[in-house]
Chains A and B, each alone.
Chain A
């Protein structure tokens, strides 16, 4: 089967500093990938390059065979509608109510009618148990609620894949569970996901594959069980010994 996302020789340099180089990777439909590694390994930068929020220095990112790096501004907008993203700091639009946060892109980008977009938004909000928050502004939400709504906002565009950039790092410990359980539900429904996370237990239980990133390379790609029980590289062994 053709991979949904194919990354070829992806390199990112900042001035003379190489963040990562020559990364090759594939993601198939329905796969859940957890991207692990020590702080400063370039995981977030790598993730942000996949939907071109960060511009890679060279290489290719193919989504269903189409390269994002070489595409025009217009094509890029089109391709991005297929890639959802959930941020560490939620980034809900502060000037819009919850429902408007969710329906803005479906209406403005996909041209959905307001009624259809809102109906769908309400349905999605119900699945995360937050339909009663539809008309409030983001600044009255707790972190856990905001992140669940951010996930709903991404889902409202019917993306083929969702990128999670440390989705629980900014949350109070007691709120982490409610967000992870939403993500777990998505995994069960075969949503394709790439997750940068420090939640080892979650990565172990939910992922189909672990990518271990360090020193500007993906050093290991393994099934979770193998990675956690038998890390091959010394870097991964050191990383796991610190984390667990």
Chain B
């Protein structure tokens, strides 16, 4: 019997992994071979979704809008122009630069405008439009290094930082020998690292470098003087979406003819770049309070909903694992082991991008689903421990009185188990609140995401981090206190 159970667990696990692979590799290729009706689809929908990574001023960045936040930038202006020519509305979806092409492949977005350059690797998975803007490669440095670094050649043997997945990263990696390259996801983090002396320089697109240098006293930009590093920004489309690409190229032709990008789009965006130099950091943070409040809202929504479903899943899978039915038992073991054995960040991305190939799930819902499923596995183990901690005599007494197994669980075992595991559940809740920050990778506007937005908008690196740190602590500390208070209430208190 025991052997049979172990066997079936293994088989179920293998089946599950096989299904996962088959789904992951077949679905996108099926879609790619479909005939091209991309333009028609957009017109039918009445809107076009543009994906971008808004930490790249002046191309795209998050600015204040009537107390809330909104994505601005020259690329957004271009997106608007394309949408206008198509006769549809523009919707902007923000996410990490790294996730943009995946979002395109899984049709989360219709096009990507993010100061992106064409590379042979990228061209394998997506199609690119004509060039809409060209810019050079610059280096951002500390003013104190002014004399030591005059061109890219002086970077040999130094530690420098670049944005992961960017052309600048690849250019420096291939073009400079003997270099210690640190990759980071976010430009604000790079700027922080530069200011604190952890890296000597950041290779950036010239326009972007100018925007950052202008807002960070003590930083300077120089031309990298690297041959062949003229960058050409292009729009990325789903592979085979030719009709949509052609329509966009027409708009690009118009824009290029009148040099609209430099003359009109960049100045229009620059208006929204905030200048906070005259204020103290505290005042600046206060001005952005609505960002943080909105972040708290999302963090709380994710946490509350995920805790609810996490506990329900936890009870179900704990009971399944304790069940004598080998099939239910095996399913539960596989679920628990698999979820606990894979990183939550990966699970969130898999639900959003992977499940997204089959059904279109919004980012917030994906985040909640992934976090609930993750929490469910941990809660299941906590509950199982709780149930096992109740002596058999309790359920035997219930059964001897004619209660069913279900009633015995419901009225006798589970209430006592919950009392015993209450502190562990409290820990799980606190962990869940902290882990909800991972949902920022798929663009859910919770605290972590808002922190990034404030960083991008204010060019302040540390202050927003400190603010959300305090907010997280206040939330989790309050929750722990409440749990502690309730613990006193549910233990009936005859002896204490």
On whether the beta carbons of B495 and A105 are closer than 8 Å, the reply is no
Prevailing SS type, chain B contact patch:
helix
On whether the beta carbons of B402 and A140 are closer than 8 Å, the reply is no
Task: Decide if B419 is an interface residue (CB 8 Å cutoff).
Answer: yes
Q: Whole-angstrom distance between the alpha carbons of A113 and B341 in the complex? A: 50
Segment touching A, from B36-44, B94-102, B407-415, B447-455: B407-415
Interface membership of chain A positions 103-122, coded 1 if the CB is closer than 8 angstroms to chain B and 0 otherwise: 01100111000000000000
Task: Decide if A205 is an interface residue (CB 8 Å cutoff).
Answer: no
Contact of A109 among B391, B402, B416 (CB under 8 A): B402
Q: Whole-angstrom distance between the alpha carbons of A85 and B396 in the complex? A: 9
Task: Decide if B400 is an interface residue (CB 8 Å cutoff).
Answer: yes
On whether the beta carbons of A157 and B494 are closer than 8 Å, the reply is no
On whether the beta carbons of A105 and B402 are closer than 8 Å, the reply is yes
Q: Whole-angstrom distance between the alpha carbons of A136 and B419 in the complex? A: 18
On whether the beta carbons of A91 and B394 are closer than 8 Å, the reply is yes
Known: A95-B412, A95-B415, A108-B411. A139 touches B400 (CB 8 A): no
Task: Decide if B398 is an interface residue (CB 8 Å cutoff).
Answer: yes
Interface membership of chain B positions 415-431, coded 1 if the CB is closer than 8 angstroms to chain A and 0 otherwise: 11001000000000000
On whether the beta carbons of A105 and B403 are closer than 8 Å, the reply is yes
Task: Decide if B124 is an interface residue (CB 8 Å cutoff).
Answer: no
On whether the beta carbons of B403 and A95 are closer than 8 Å, the reply is no
The residues of B that contact A136 with a CB separation of less than 8 Å are: 494
On whether the beta carbons of B401 and A109 are closer than 8 Å, the reply is yes
On whether the beta carbons of B400 and A53 are closer than 8 Å, the reply is yes
Segment touching B, from A3-11, A19-27, A73-81: A73-81
Interface membership of chain B positions 473-495, coded 1 if the CB is closer than 8 angstroms to chain A and 0 otherwise: 00000000000000000001011
Task: Decide if B323 is an interface residue (CB 8 Å cutoff).
Answer: no
- Minimal Cβ-Cβ distance residue in B for A54: B396
Task: Decide if B360 is an interface residue (CB 8 Å cutoff).
Answer: no
The residues of B that contact A84 with a CB separation of less than 8 Å are: 400-401
On whether the beta carbons of A140 and B495 are closer than 8 Å, the reply is yes
Task: Decide if B287 is an interface residue (CB 8 Å cutoff).
Answer: no
Contact of A81 among B393, B394, B402, B494 (CB under 8 A): B402
Task: Decide if B246 is an interface residue (CB 8 Å cutoff).
Answer: no
Task: Decide if A195 is an interface residue (CB 8 Å cutoff).
Answer: no
The residues of B that contact A85 with a CB separation of less than 8 Å are: 397, 400
Q: Whole-angstrom distance between the alpha carbons of A177 and B137 in the complex? A: 95
Measured CB to CB, the closest approach of chain B to A191, in angstroms, equals: 16
The residues of A that contact B27 with a CB separation of less than 8 Å are: none
The residues of A that contact B415 with a CB separation of less than 8 Å are: 95
The residues of A that contact B419 with a CB separation of less than 8 Å are: 95
Contact of A94 among B399, B411, B416 (CB under 8 A): B416
Task: Decide if A218 is an interface residue (CB 8 Å cutoff).
Answer: no
On whether the beta carbons of A95 and B416 are closer than 8 Å, the reply is yes
- Minimal Cβ-Cβ distance residue in A for B400: A85
On whether the beta carbons of B404 and A91 are closer than 8 Å, the reply is no
Q: Whole-angstrom distance between the alpha carbons of A96 and B404 in the complex? A: 18
Interface membership of chain A positions 55-90, coded 1 if the CB is closer than 8 angstroms to chain B and 0 otherwise: 000000000000000000100011011011101010
Contact of B407 among A53, A73, A91, A108 (CB under 8 A): A108
On whether the beta carbons of A87 and B397 are closer than 8 Å, the reply is yes
Measured CB to CB, the closest approach of chain B to A219, in angstroms, equals: 28
The residues of B that contact A73 with a CB separation of less than 8 Å are: 404
On whether the beta carbons of B412 and A81 are closer than 8 Å, the reply is no
- Minimal Cβ-Cβ distance residue in B for A81: B402
Measured CB to CB, the closest approach of chain A to B374, in angstroms, equals: 30
Contact of B411 among A89, A104, A110, A153 (CB under 8 A): A104
The residues of A that contact B494 with a CB separation of less than 8 Å are: 136-137, 139-140
On whether the beta carbons of B394 and A94 are closer than 8 Å, the reply is yes
Known: A95-B415, A137-B494. A81 touches B401 (CB 8 A): yes
Other A-B contacts than A108-B411, A137-B492, 10 sampled, CB-CB below 8 A, are A77-B402, A77-B404, A91-B393, A93-B397, A94-B394, A95-B416, A104-B403, A108-B407, A109-B403, A136-B494
Closest 6 CB pairs of A and B: A81-B402, A105-B401, A91-B397, A85-B400, A91-B393, A109-B402
B interface, CB within 8 angstroms of A? 391, 393-394, 396-404, 407, 411-412, 415-416, 419, 492, 494-495
* Sample of 11 A–B contacts (CB below 8 Å): A53-B400, A78-B402, A80-B401, A87-B396, A91-B393, A104-B411, A105-B398, A108-B411, A109-B402, A136-B494, A137-B492
